[in-house]
């Protein structure tokens, strides 16, 4: 049945920019004038991060995360009874859904969840599950919904950090917060928290394309909860990149903690 309430548009449409040569021309240069494409100075520099907990009043918990232009919002509902329970288990479940808003990327996204969004949802679940005390809500389920409002690179890591903040805001018992960071391997450089244009850097011919790695990290436990990478590179470079992500996660951890403390303080003042 066609969904009459939404504008679906014709099945095969292309953005006009897709045929525009300037748009297609990806650069192979990560640096210009010793600066990164968006003006950051060093490879290990993270974009300014803005986090806020508790902005969707009806959700059990919610959070908003901003990495410069990348903007992500997350809502947590539950725990509630599992609708379709399979077998007996004393553990709770988490369900994750990541969605790009139709206008969030350069190309318009469809309303129906596509393959990439499903993949991101699984990765998000992978990252969160080890951190949440599933045995604290047996036989029930927590729903985590993430909407990417604007995608300017590193959407997955923003989603993970945002979701863990929202879970904490919802008062779900957790062993630790999950902080995530993405790094783009390009030639010999490892760019922390890549922007969209850095994510799509062209490979220098004759060089390994590098790739992109996202690490979900629990800083107090010193445990990795998610690690996903694709590309083509040597093991040492990959290890270096994950190490750099890990260092960045430690720095971000502070920010996430501060945000949570602030939101608790605010709530105490209001009541």
Partner 1 sequence: MVDVNLSEAEKTFIVHGIQDNFREDGRSNEEYRQMDLETGLMSNTSGSARLRLANTEILVGVKAELEEPKPEKPDVGRLEFFVDCSANAAPEFEGRGGEELATEMMNLLYRAYSASTVLDVSSLCLQSGKLCWVLYVDVLLLECGGNLFDAASIAVKAALFNTKIPSVKVRQEEGEETELEVSDDPYDVRRLDVSAAPTVLTLSKIGHNHIVDASQKEEACCLARLMMAVTASGSVTATVKEGRGSLDPDSITEMMQVGKRVGKAVNEKLLETLKEEEQKGLKRKTVGFLR
Q: Does residue 131 touch partner 1 according to CB under 8 A?
A: yes
Q: Does residue 179 touch partner 1 according to CB under 8 A?
A: no
* Count of chain residues binding partner 1 (CB under 8 A): 40
Question: Concatenated DSSP letters for 107-137?
Answer: SPPPSS--HHHHHHHHHHHHHHGGGB-GGGS
Give the helix/strand (H/E) hosting 262. Answer: helix 235-270
Give the helix/strand (H/E) hosting 141. Answer: strand 140-150
In degrees and rounded to multiples of 5, residue 184 shows phi and psi of -110, 125
Site map (CB under 8 A) of partner 1, residues 49-88, x = contact: ----------------------------------------
Cβ of residue 213: shortest distance to partner 1, in angstroms? 8
Please name the residues in contact with 223: beta carbons below 8 A apart, sequence gap of 6 or more: 130, 176, 217
Task: Dihedral sign for Cα 106, 109, 114, 120, please.
Answer: positive
Cβ of residue 97: shortest distance to partner 1, in angstroms? 14
Among 115, 268, 270, 271, binds partner 1 (CB under 8 A): 115
Instruction: Quote the CA–CA distance of 177 and 89 in Å, as a whole number.
Output: 25
Q: Does residue 187 touch partner 1 according to CB under 8 A?
A: no
Task: Estimate the crossing angle of helix 235-270 against helix 155-169, to 10 degrees.
Answer: 30
Q: Does residue 7 touch partner 1 according to CB under 8 A?
A: no
Q: Does residue 192 touch partner 1 according to CB under 8 A?
A: no
Q: Does residue 231 touch partner 1 according to CB under 8 A?
A: yes
Cβ of residue 227: shortest distance to partner 1, in angstroms? 4
Residues that bind partner 1 (CB under 8 A): 14, 18-19, 24, 115, 118-119, 122-123, 126, 129-131, 134, 203, 208-209, 211, 213, 218, 221-235, 238-239, 242-243, 246
């Amino acid at each position: 049945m066609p969904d009459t309430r939404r504008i679906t548009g014709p099945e095969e449409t292309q953005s006009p920019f897709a045929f525009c040569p300037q748009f297609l021309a990806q650069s192979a240069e990560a640096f210009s004038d010793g600066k990164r494409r968006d003006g950051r100075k060093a490879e290990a520099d993270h974009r300014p991060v803005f986090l806020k907990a508790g902005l969707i009043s009806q959700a059990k918990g919610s959070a908003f995360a901003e990495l410069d232009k990348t903007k992500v919002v997350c809502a947590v509902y539950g725990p509630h009874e599992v609708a379709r329970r399979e077998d007996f288990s004393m553990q709770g479940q988490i369900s994750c859904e990541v969605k790009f808003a139709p206008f969030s990327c350069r190309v318009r996204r469809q309303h129906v969840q596509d393959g990439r969004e499903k993949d991101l949802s699984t990765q998000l679940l992978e990252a969160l599950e080890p951190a949440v005390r599933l045995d604290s809500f047996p036989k029930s389920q927590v729903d985590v919904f993430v909407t990417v409002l604007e995608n300017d690179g590193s959407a997955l890591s923003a989603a993970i950090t945002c979701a863990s903040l929202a879970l904490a805001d919802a008062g779900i018992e957790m062993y630790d917060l999950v902080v995530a960071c993405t790094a783009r391997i390009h030639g010999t450089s490892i760019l922390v928290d890549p922007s969209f244009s850095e994510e799509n850097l062209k490979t220098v011919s004759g060089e390994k394309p590098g790739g992109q790695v996202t690490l979900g990290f629990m800083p107090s436990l010193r445990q990795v909860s998610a690690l996903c990478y694709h590309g083509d590179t040597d093991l040492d470079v990959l290890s270096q990149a994950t190490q750099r992500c890990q260092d960045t996660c430690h720095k971000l951890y502070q920010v996430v903690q501060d945000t949570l403390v602030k939101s608790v303080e605010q709530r105490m003042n209001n009541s």
